[in-house]
Structure 1
Amino acid sequence: MYGSVLTTPELVECVRTATLAPSLHNSQPWRFRLVGETVEVYVDRDRQLEVLDPDGRELLISVGAAIFTLRLALRSVGRVPELAILPDIDRPDLVAVVRPGPFAKPSAALSGLADAIAHRHTNRQPFQAKVVPADVIEELRAAADHEGAELTIAGPASRTIIAGLGREAERRLRSSDGYRAEMGRWTRPMARRRDGVPAAAFGPWDAMERLPMRDFGIVHPQLQRRGERFERHPTIAVLTTSGDEPASWVCAGQALQRVLLSATRRHLSTTPISQPVEIPSIREVLADRRSGRFAQMVVRLGYGPSAPTTPRRPVTEVLQQIAD
């Protein structure tokens, strides 16, 4: 109830909501700790993908997405969150401290974003040949800007270049030592598994080989992934930040989740495409050194069919401690 002190069960529910954030290969690399009304958010480095993400950039982007979701969950129950990023140099795994701040009823827009949390799913299916309206694009740009990042929609020429860079990145990744094994770790079917990418979420491969969709079939060829024609002119966006250090990566994660939820609220399907930013030399091509912008994620946007949910670990596995 708005204007009341949050109970421990309500805080636990906010943490559970935060675990619905997206993460690389659904690795869910986060841990939480309650200290009174304060929520400490930690990175779980045991869940880092060493081949795809040796520097931990995508690791912190994932945690940043969970931080934004936690902030939004607190906002939806009537508290303005107070946030400190990387607050303790002696505890590098402590990514953020989030405290419920003043009481305030959320706006209709914030309530809409909160409602979108449970409906946001990565969609690897073909999208419709339908243009995303200009006012929706502006809303997504504003969402990124609100979190200190920038979202740029690729024009026809840039879109072709980005797609080509993504395909080249996928080719290089396939030849990397340990890539197949690492992908297998996060896609291997296991009884009662609550993380990773299930086969239902793999999606088809692009029969025209235009879009750089992650090829999970190289690990599980027995699944016989079908080929389908994807949209000919996809809407591709690049999310950038003005810095390229851990705090910027956390910022990028928060901005990414706000963009994804804003898109979901406007009935758009989304596909974060990370291959182009996983190869340093290719990521450098996407950067704009003149304006000091660093590419953090590529996102495909459009109107697609419903996407399957991916599993989440129970809150009891990620909520490390409850303390008074």
Structure 2
Amino acid sequence: MKTGVMPVGHLSESQMRSVLLAATAPPPLRRGRPWRFQCTPDAVELYADSLSTGTDSDQRERMLDCGAALLNLRLAIKAQSSHADTRLFPTADRPDLLAVVRPNGYETIAPVDRELVAAIAGRQSNRRPFTAAVVPDAVRRQLRRAAEVERAWLATITDDQVPQLRDIMHRTELPPATPGPGGGSDLDIEPGRLVVVIGSLHDTALGRLQAGQALQRVLLTAAAAGLSAALSSQVMAVPAARRELRQLLGGGLWPQVMLRLGHGTAVASPTQTQLEDVVISDEHPFGR
């Protein structure tokens, strides 16, 4: 067993502490953090908890959050001027080992990625009502490209599709997600507002992990552009409703999460996670 934060590759212990603090930003969907990092002399390993337990919706959200943490980890390593050599599901007999990331050589971080790193600490889901201000087409293109970079896709709900989407959401017969300060709910969508769905080519653990990385890159891109984001999980929690949403979007790809994006009032910054809660060590093992 390795002992918590330690030098990894050519990154020092202090650099790794900075990397892991960025990687442990609050996940998009779940209040807990269903993953742990383990440092080895040459890599950071990402593990997930009990992927075989819970409903399919629980497993999907868990994998999306793990993907979001992985994207943060990769970006934070780049911020240390290092290439993040990443392998997903590197061992067939260890499904809980989701990724191995090796700081390998030196790489100058691109300006766009540096902006995303700066947005990690303050990114927070915002369930307050958004204004009617339009999201510029240039920003919409950036959001779509952010998903594509991570081998996922982003579909925009058109005004013509809004009534069908609202009907699907009403028929899930689930209470809206708990609103944050100022109200708002999963059904707070109107024509002219930006509602997007992030999905994957395959509805597999790998596809969901890639979609989680895409989700976080989209959220950080939105935050860097001054946008607020509210995540909706209501439709995805009911298999029949998720299938209807898939057909609404063309039937070819699998929706994984839906977002409302726009201009909203500020919300409180998230609470920083303690590293010992998310880094495997002798004192803090992670049951697998």
Q: Which residue of the other structure, out of 265, 270, 279, is the alignment partner of 2:224?
A: 265
C-alpha distance in 1, partners of 2:241/2:255? Answer: 10
2:153 counterpart residue number: 150
Secondary structure of residue in 2 paired with 1:80:
strand
Secondary structure of residue in 1 paired with 2:266:
coil
Cα drift, residue 44 of structure 1: 2.3
One-letter identity of the residue aligned with 1:39? V
Question: Aligned pair 1:98/2:101, yes or no?
Answer: yes
Question: Aligned pair 1:74/2:90, yes or no?
Answer: no
Question: Aligned pair 1:50/2:54, yes or no?
Answer: yes
Contact 1:129 1:231 in 2 (8 A): no
Q: Summarize deviations over 1:280-313 as a string: whole Å, max 9, x none.
A: 0010112259663000010100000112233343
C-alpha distance in 2, partners of 1:93/1:212? Answer: 35
C-alpha distance 234-243 of structure 1, shift in aligned 2 (>3 A): same
One-letter identity of the residue aligned with 1:202? G
Cα drift, residue 62 of structure 1: 0.4
C-alpha distance 173-247 of structure 1, shift in aligned 2 (>3 A): farther
Contact 2:37 2:280 in 1 (8 A): yes
Secondary structure of residue in 2 paired with 1:109:
helix
2:4 counterpart residue number: none
Cα drift, residue 272 of structure 1: 1.2
C-alpha distance in 1, partners of 2:89/2:175? Answer: 31
C-alpha distance in 2, partners of 1:241/1:22? Answer: 19
2:31 counterpart residue number: 26
Secondary structure of residue in 1 paired with 2:85:
strand
C-alpha distance 236-140 of structure 1, shift in aligned 2 (>3 A): same
Secondary structure of residue in 2 paired with 1:88:
coil
Question: Aligned pair 1:305/2:265, yes or no?
Answer: yes
1:217 counterpart residue number: none
Secondary structure of residue in 1 paired with 2:126:
coil
Contact 2:139 2:225 in 1 (8 A): yes
Cα drift, residue 21 of structure 1: 4.4
Secondary structure of residue in 1 paired with 2:281:
strand
C-alpha distance 72-24 of structure 1, shift in aligned 2 (>3 A): same
TM-score of the aligned structures, taking structure 2 as reference length: 0.86
Aligned length: 273
1:140 counterpart residue number: 143
1:202 counterpart residue number: 180
RMSD value, Cα: 2.6
The answer for unaligned runs of 5 or more in structure 2 is: 1-8, 283-288
The alignment-based identity, stated in percent, is 30
C-alpha distance in 2, partners of 1:172/1:100? Answer: 44
One-letter identity of the residue aligned with 2:206? A
Secondary structure of residue in 1 paired with 2:33:
coil
Which range moved further: 5-14 or 65-74? 5-14
Contact 1:274 1:297 in 2 (8 A): yes
Cα drift, residue 51 of structure 1: 5.6
Secondary structure of residue in 1 paired with 2:72:
helix
Secondary structure of residue in 2 paired with 1:251:
helix
C-alpha distance in 2, partners of 1:315/1:305? Answer: 30
Q: Which residue of the other structure, out of 256, 262, 265, is the alignment partner of 1:296?
A: 256
C-alpha distance in 2, partners of 1:17/1:252? Answer: 20
Question: Aligned pair 1:279/2:238, yes or no?
Answer: yes
Contact 1:149 1:241 in 2 (8 A): yes
Secondary structure of residue in 2 paired with 1:42:
strand
